[in-house]
Each structure stands twice: as structure tokens, then as C-alpha cells.
Amino acid sequence: MAAFGEDVEAFLLGMREFGLFEDVERHLPAEFSAVYEIARVLHDPEHPLWHRFAPLLNLFHTHDPQQQEASAALPRQYSSEEYDAELIRHYRDVVRIYPHQFLLPEEVFYHRLAERTLWMPVPRPPRVYGYQTHGDVYAPDIRKQKVYILFDTSASMQQHHRIQLAKAIAYTFLRRNQAELGEVFLRTFDLHIGELHHAFDQLSFERLLRTVLRLQAVGQGTMLEQAIMTAIEDIRRKPSLVQSEILLFTDGIAYLHVGRIRELLGDDIRLHAVRLGAGPLHLQAKAVEDFAYRDDGEASRQFRRLQDEKHHIERQLAHVSGEHQRRLLQNQLHSLEQQCSLILRQLERQAQNHYATALRELCTVYVAVEDVPLEQLVQLSAERRRSLEQAAQELIHRLREAPTSEDFQTAALLSEYMSFLAQCCSEASSLRELAQQLRRLISEAVQQRGYRAASQEVRMSRVERRILMQLVAIPGLSFRQLLRFLSLHYWFRRLRLWLRRLGWQWRLRHLQRYK
């Protein structure tokens, strides 16, 4: 197959890395063109977005050659089997305490549990050095830095292409730092905490990358604090995860107990975060009330006390009968509502300050990015547009003369990508027309279940047709077949209802006979 231009070859190479040519019949990533385009921007050092995420993307890159040489020369140290004795941090740690403490008298045991003075073994953190490998491949080692990724999949991530941006950043980070990374862990969260994915070799690393690209933002709610604490608990539980760094992608605002989380992180776990959709906060009354019920400040405690008094008076009003007493209770209720509204205004300022700074206080690297229109990220130069046009025209010629199965897959991916570029760039109308031509040729081949190649009719397999139908959204049935299916379904349903009616009539006759 003849080579295309440099830009098109880079796109096809990226699609192969995304796994679209091998695993696309299983599940097609949503808006894969947007993910690829954002990832391409993140590789451009001249783009402003690259400078915004440079502290995160270069997290494990060492630019000092002497430091790299010294790090590579240090000996290997395996200390994960050495343990220290520490006091429990949470009641859940009771399952990890030294067994002999269960022999204590019951009152003494529960008293120490309440004061958290029971002892448990904690793995001694290994010394992690910068480790230089030969080549740019993923080869995990105990000396390399382990990463634990937390990915927000709540429905709000679907707004303003946030999830596409997050997937592009995560993919670029993992691919760029793969030579310096140890084991990689991934867990999603929304209203629930997702399952744990683990990369420990090249095959599982590629599988984890494709899992990232196929994430969907369909959850409700954001359990941000619970997700962070779950990651810390996973790291504390497994000795191989000691000194892992947590990388968080989220757009949610949630109350965080900063002191408690900082205590759980300790000195050996670092948290980094990418805050998507950053900007001025407009909190609703429900969010401020939620903050008041979770915060331990004086204003929050006073608000909760007033709310309890308010509910108590409302219950009294529901049962009072005297007009004078009812009027007194209504005046008290009105006074409490005024006090609550005054405190709520004060709590709103505190809530905005907390939501804006709590996560930043916990992070070593914190990157906040506002919602950026996708049109500003997509840059289509005239040279790149001509390269895409030439590639599309070459593919159209191949599909008409002597196509192959790979040509159809390439045409499907390229048509989707050109349609995406034409949607973002007003000067790319020619790409939209070429994409429509490619779709028509693919649709004809799928409907005919085959194509002509080298004067021979080649039949498409069911898997090949499924791949093309997913890529370009071709319906699997023709219009005539669809009408036939609908008519058969309709008459079968009528027949089933008729048989059911006969059964009911037969039962009624038998009941009347017995009566």
C-alpha cells in the first residue's frame, strides 16, 4: 500500500496505538477524533495548552544528565518485606493489628480502639530512585515510580469535551512517561467507585491505555473524597504500591476533609490533580447547605442548630390548635429563617473558598484548566488540509479500482476524522465533501456485502461489515429488509395477543361452568 502524507500517516499510526484496527468490533471509543486531535496538540511545545500541562506531563522527566547517570548507577534495593510498627489511623485498620492484642481484656481493647492506640505492621517504604532504561518501552521495575490514576466519569464530564481532554491528557502522560513508570493502576469514580485496573507488563499497559480511551461519562454524582481515600487505602494495603503517586482527573466540586486526607497521605504518597472546567463558582443553595452539614466551623454548627430548632417549631405548628400560640410559633419560625439566611450568605463565601482551595492544598502538582471550545484547539493549516485531501482522493480511487479490507477501515477512520475537522474549521468544507464520498463507497460495499478487487468479487465477512458499520454508522439492514422485519414483528405480536385472548375466554367459560 502506497504511503500517504506525513500528517495522515501520523493519524493512522495514532489510530493503531488507540487499538481501532484490532479491537474496534468490540467497542468504538466515543469521539476518538477529538481525543486524537487534543493529544496531537499536547505534543506541540509551541501550543499554549502544552505549557499549561508541562508540569504534569514532565513529572518524571529529569533534564540533568549528571543526575540521571547518578540515579542509574545506584544499586537495586528491595525493602518491601520490611515492616515498621505504627498506630492505627482508622477503625477499619483493626483487621491489620498485631494478633496478640486481641487477648487484651474487652474494656481495654475497646478503649485503645477508640483512642486509636492499637499497633499494626506497616511496610517500610522502599527507596525509589530515578531509573534510566534503554529504549522507550514500558518495563516496570520496583525502582521506578508507580502511578495510581483516579478518573472522574460523572455525567458533567461530558460537557464542553472535558472527558475527551482528560483522556487525551492521561494517554499522553502515560505514553510519554512509559519508560520511567513502574506499575500503573486505574480506578474510575462517579456516584460509585469503579473496579481497579492494573498494568504490570507491556501487554497489560496497552490494555490499560485502551481502557482509558474507552471510558464513558455516564455516572451521576462525584464521590471525590471517597475515591481519594479508596486510592490511599489500596496503596496502604499492598506493599508493592508503597510510595505511589496519585493522579486525579475531575471536574467536580466536593467537600474534602483536608486535615484527615493530608494525614492519610502522609509523607510518602503525593497527590496530583487536573481540575477541568475551572472558573468562577456559582453555588446553589443546596450545595451551600451540604457544605454546612459537613463542615465543622462555628458558622456551620450554628446553622445546623438553627435548622434543628426550625424543624422542631414546624412540628409544633402541625399539632397546635390555639390561634395565639400558633402566631407566636410563626413569629419564632420567621425569626429563625432570617437568621438562617444571614448565616447562609456567610457560609456561601466560606464554601466558595473551600471548593476553590481544598484540592489545591492537598496537591503537589495542581493544574486548573477552564473550558476551552474545541474550535480553539483544532488547528488546520493549509498544508495539512491539502495532505488530507490528497489522501482522501487516493482512497476514493483505490475503493473504486482495487480495494482491500484495510483500505475500507482506513477510509472509515479518515472520513470520521475529516468530518470532525470540517465541523471545527469553517474553511474545511472540501473535507466534508470528500468524507461523504468515502461514506457512500463504504455504504455500497456493506449493503452489497462485498466488493470487486482485481476483477474478482470479494465477499465481506460479518466481522468486517460490523467494523465498518460501527465506524461510519451504517445501518445493518436495508430499507426493504427493515420493512419486512417490522411487518413480521407486527403480525407475530397480533397473533400472540389473539392466542392470549382465546386463552382468557376459555378460562372464563370453565369458571362459569363450575359456578
Domain membership of residue 269 (yes or no) is yes
**Would you give the DSSP letter of residue 190?**
S
Rounded to whole angstroms, the Cα distance separating 167 from 213 reads 6
The pLDDT tens digits for 256-269 are: 999 999 999 988 89
Domain membership of residue 134 (yes or no) is yes
Please state which of the ranges 22-36, 104-118, 218-232 shows the lowest mean pLDDT.
22-36
Rounded to whole angstroms, the Cα distance separating 181 from 128 reads 11
265-278 CB burial, b ≥16 within 10 A, e <16: beeebbbbbbbbbe
The pLDDT tens digits for 210-259 are: 889 888 887 777 889 999 999 999 998 877 777 789 999 998 778 899 99
Band the pLDDT of 170: cuts 50, 70, 90. Answer: very high
Domain membership of residue 78 (yes or no) is no
pLDDT of residue 72: 41
Q: What nine digits make up the cell of 17? A: 496505538
pLDDT of residue 477: 44
CATH at 217: 3.40.50.410
Are residues 304 and 266 both part of a single domain? no
- 482/253: higher pLDDT: 253
Are residues 209 and 185 both part of a single domain? yes
**Does the structure show a pLDDT above 90 at 188?**
yes
Rounded to whole angstroms, the Cα distance separating 230 from 248 reads 13
Rounded to whole angstroms, the Cα distance separating 39 from 112 reads 53
What stretches of 121-257 show up as alpha helix (H) in DSSP? 162-176, 202-213, 224-237
Q: What share of the chain is helix, strand, coil (3-state, %, to 5)?
A: 60, 10, 30
Are residues 245 and 327 both part of a single domain? no
What is the residue range of 97's domain?
A: 83-123
Q: What nine digits make up the cell of 204? A: 497489560
Are residues 43 and 178 both part of a single domain? yes
Are residues 236 and 160 both part of a single domain? yes
- 286/199: higher pLDDT: 199
**Would you give the DSSP letter of residue 140?**
-
Q: What nine digits make up the cell of 123? A: 511496610
Domain membership of residue 109 (yes or no) is yes
Rounded to whole angstroms, the Cα distance separating 377 from 160 reads 12
- 81/424: higher pLDDT: 424
pLDDT of residue 1: 44
pLDDT of residue 218: 78
- 470/408: higher pLDDT: 408
Among 232, 293, 292, smallest CA distance to 266 is for: 232
The count of domains in the chain is: 3
Are residues 52 and 186 both part of a single domain? yes
Are residues 33 and 162 both part of a single domain? yes
Are residues 210 and 135 both part of a single domain? yes
Are residues 58 and 96 both part of a single domain? no
Domain membership of residue 408 (yes or no) is no
Please identify, among 230, 259, 276, the residue that sits at the C-terminal boundary of a domain: 276
Please identify, among 365, 400, 425, the residue that sits at the C-terminal boundary of a domain: 365
Domain membership of residue 2 (yes or no) is no
Are residues 150 and 237 both part of a single domain? yes
Please identify, among 249, 276, 303, the residue that sits at the C-terminal boundary of a domain: 276
Are residues 217 and 246 both part of a single domain? yes
Domain membership of residue 433 (yes or no) is no
**Does the structure show a pLDDT above 50 at 436?**
yes
Structural contact between residues 446 and 474, judged by C-beta atoms closer than 8 angstroms: yes
What is the average per-residue pLDDT within 372-400? 85
Please state which of the ranges 14-28, 160-174, 417-431, 436-450 shows the lowest mean pLDDT.
14-28
> pTM for the complete prediction?
0.74
Neighbours of 141 (CB within 10 A): 14
Structural contact between residues 135 and 179, judged by C-beta atoms closer than 8 angstroms: yes
- 54/77: higher pLDDT: 54
DSSP reduced 3-state for 273: strand
Are residues 308 and 262 both part of a single domain? no
End-to-end CA distance of the chain: 83
- Write down the mean pLDDT value for the chain: 80
